[in-house]
Chain A
């Protein structure tokens, strides 16, 4: 880059990749909260589902109760971990896949590709936006659970440490998978139709809407291939009593497996998003 055509110009330093990434996070997060579709189907969706489940099933008593009706946990308590996991998946996969597919087809990416914005800064912006919005979503869910649904939250620090790593791992994995999935829809308009069923089916087989431990074994095994099952299981280990571990597939919370499965999906998502992402669909 030597031949300066116009000679004397103030030679300011180009903005750094990290600084631009931070600027992108602010910009992306602001736009996230200005999109009504995203707010309804990503941000508030777990709240709506938690409300519906609590209202629908509370009259049938506690889940996991003893034969004499004592013990167990309330319906809200039982569904809270699943909704937290669903929020992580929606914030990453659904949000980014639909968002980036739309940006691809409406010309946003083409415009950005013509500017000196580094793709790395762009990714930082997307992943940062997912992080910021997922934290707000989870925080608000816990607040609603505690204050509105009167769900007792764990007090042990080690439980919250588990919550932290499952959350961070799960959200980053979901974000990468969202970027990778954005390559599939052929147009922005078809993006929701492609992404929503994938996300919905995963939620049904992974123990978000249906009690995972009551699903047939083949479905449990199928769900174990995908990351959502492990996010939900990690969250159950935080919010459900130890006695519930016995009902899991191996009779324990299996946290090392949760970490392993999320780790594998994280790497896979990173590789896939790196390979599939283009500013524009390049011709041959």
Chain B
């Protein structure tokens, strides 16, 4: 319960930022941090809490993004409805991928490779059919107004992503305190033992991947409405899949606040490198890479692990496990 209060306090504090931050540029950074936290939290549900490492979260992101864009542009459907459709379609894609992989018992690196393959298949498909705009991409017409899920100011978009991200964090808080979460942790730690206790591992993993797909899809919906342009590489490319997993790995997998810490850290680093080094292509990627290697070596439990180390001082020594 204390964790929930902290969560609500943190998000309330974030909610006053638009009143404090006057520059659109800075508010954009906060928006991108919240967006990265949403994407990372989506991955964290399946990867951090469920132990199933997906390398293809772009599949859900891209489906949500394309759903809202295609419905608007091709069929003239309101993006609020598109948002719901995008979330549902992303969940359906997640259910399909989950069924195909978990039913056949794929785990570990096999699961990771197959999820990557699904995302790539979707990228190639979206590149070759007409209604997505194929390789040219799809442009959502500018039509500011809350009814169109577009906003005149960044503040409007801020509250859109703020509510998506808050919903994801509340869902993960619930996971941490529910019977479903307990069975998910059991499956992550030891699937055989979980099954012997009567946990239906398949059903639990399906639940996790569908929930993960929901929030991945919402991140895609937000992206489409915020930037108003998509192409197959943006929507289904590996960059999104990598960002989804980088955020919680840096922040702390399987923890509630890990994705938020990771998102803030990643965007701070990328802004700083841009500020200090300038826009030399690739340099921020090189720094990302070095950061990741450093994290895995020195902070296998992510930034949230540092916090835990301080709050658990009173426990006997040697109770912490390292798991990279």
Q: Do A and B bind each other?
A: no
Binding site for A on B (CB under 8 A): none
Binding site for B on A (CB under 8 A): none
